[in-house]
Structure 1
Amino acid sequence: MAGRARLVAEVLLGAVIIAAYAVWCAFLNLEGKVRCVAVMLWSLVVMPLAVLFFATCHQGVRWVLVCALLAAASASMAVMTAGSWYGDSELREFLTAVPGLTAAALLITAPWLASWTLHDLSGQPTRARVVEAEPVIDEEHEDTGFTRYHLAEAETERDLGWMRFGPRERARSGAVISVSVVPDGWAPPIATERLDDTDVEPGITAFAALATLHLLGCAVTAAAWPREL
């Protein structure tokens, strides 16, 4: 990842974690329309920033764990929100819980699907030179068959960061390969030939559909929120 983009991403992650903690602490004591504002803030501001960050750091296990914790917090928020309308209609209870549930689903899928979606939207084919090829070793110190590549742009030597989803056949250091690059490093490079894998298109479609469902859920929730509260 480019240095500038990584710095911005780390700042965003810090802001997301602080905001998520503040919202969670305050959410426990919120009622009525104030709780509605908190739900919308989480669903439309904090959560998209978190998804964007996890799209850039999908290779790190620690980020996946943080993502899972935020998803659990979002699901808990959804349950608490639905439980606020005790005695009200069951349909309203379900609708007000939708943003938290869809946000949790987006957070869980972001480390694997968001980066592919970014490449589909804005990826640019680029010739890259393999600076370093590092086999991925499992806990038993055996080669898993996967490789992490440190890349540089072939013509300018610009650092492109590390790539996990490389060519189907392992490339050696010094080899020049074709990769997809998202401007400003908002997602790690991906070998262009991997974009044609049979499971890529369905994954992108599923993530886009989930994001659309999340936005619709936020709109429906705002309309369904009890006006007397």
Structure 2
Amino acid sequence: MRRPRRRGRGLLAGTMTWSLVVVPILVFLASRSYGTPWVAVFVCLACLSGAMSLAIGDSWVYAYSAGRAPRDPSTAPWLTAAALLFTAPGLAPWAFHELAGQPTQVRVIEVEPAVDSQGEDTGLTHYRIADAATERDLGRMWFGPRTRVPVGAVISVSVIPDGWSPPVATERLKDADAFVTTFAVLVTVHVLACAVTAAAWPRKPQS
């Protein structure tokens, strides 16, 4: 009678560790993943979370239908983790800039028009920028001004201390409220899902 309890506690511990330790670290790292292969890593991990949810849910549905186990909400953290990981590369950086971004005047030192598979200009531009006052290289900027600016131009951007997220043109931040709100909602739902799962976990061994 103790083995089910041990398995249940082990599953709960694994779920909470993944949800409240691993996922926040991955979301934090997602803020640096613009334009890199790391985006694919987050998509794969999101798929893994979804697969775990389906696998656990299927086993519990089978056990419940056979009268051997009660239904349990323990699949919820895996589902919300999947949603959070899937959207993190696109949403997390905007939230970081909202919380810790510092307006900085920078000088454009390199302009690289983005092209499609046929080599045609897409209208998007990638920039390399440097602090206008100190000339410190701030790296690449994927979301620059809406109108393409030339090398040597001085523009205002949002910079995260220690470079934890690529710089973003200040004018772009005005349209990012929906992204920040969506990210905050996903984080809140994920934490609540973990809290409900921990509170509703069976306290007695399953019969």
Give the alignment's TM-score, normalised by structure 1. 0.81
* Partner secondary structure for residue 111 of structure 2: strand
* Partner secondary structure for residue 96 of structure 1: coil
Q: 2:58, 2:196 → 1: CA distance?
A: 17
Select which of 49, 58, 64 maps to 1:74. 49
* Partner secondary structure for residue 102 of structure 1: helix
Give the equivalent residue in structure 1 for 2:3: none
Contact 2:110 2:151 in 1 (8 A): yes
Q: CA deviation at 1:84?
A: 4.5
Structure showing the higher helix proportion among its residues:
1
Q: 2:16, 2:131 → 1: CA distance?
A: 41
Superposition RMSD in Å? 1.4
Contact 2:27 2:92 in 1 (8 A): yes
- 1:180-221 CA distances to partner (integer Å, 9 max, x unpaired)? 011111110000011112xx2111101101101101111111
Contact 2:34 2:142 in 1 (8 A): no
Q: 2:56, 2:134 → 1: CA distance?
A: 52
Q: CA deviation at 1:228?
A: 2.4
Give the equivalent residue in structure 1 for 2:152: 174
Give the equivalent residue in structure 2 for 1:124: 102
Give the alignment's TM-score, normalised by structure 2. 0.89
Q: CA deviation at 1:79?
A: 2.1
Contact 2:159 2:168 in 1 (8 A): yes
| 4+ runs deviating over 4 angstroms | none
* Partner secondary structure for residue 104 of structure 2: strand
Q: 1:64, 1:212 → 2: CA distance?
A: 22
**1:95-110 correspondence runs (5 A):** 95-110=73-88
The alignment status of 1:33 with 2:9, answered yes or no, reads yes
Q: Percent identity?
A: 52
Select which of 14, 22, 29 maps to 1:53. 29
**1:132-147 correspondence runs (5 A):** 132-147=110-125
Q: 1:39, 1:166 → 2: CA distance?
A: 39
Q: 1:189, 1:81 → 2: CA distance?
A: 40
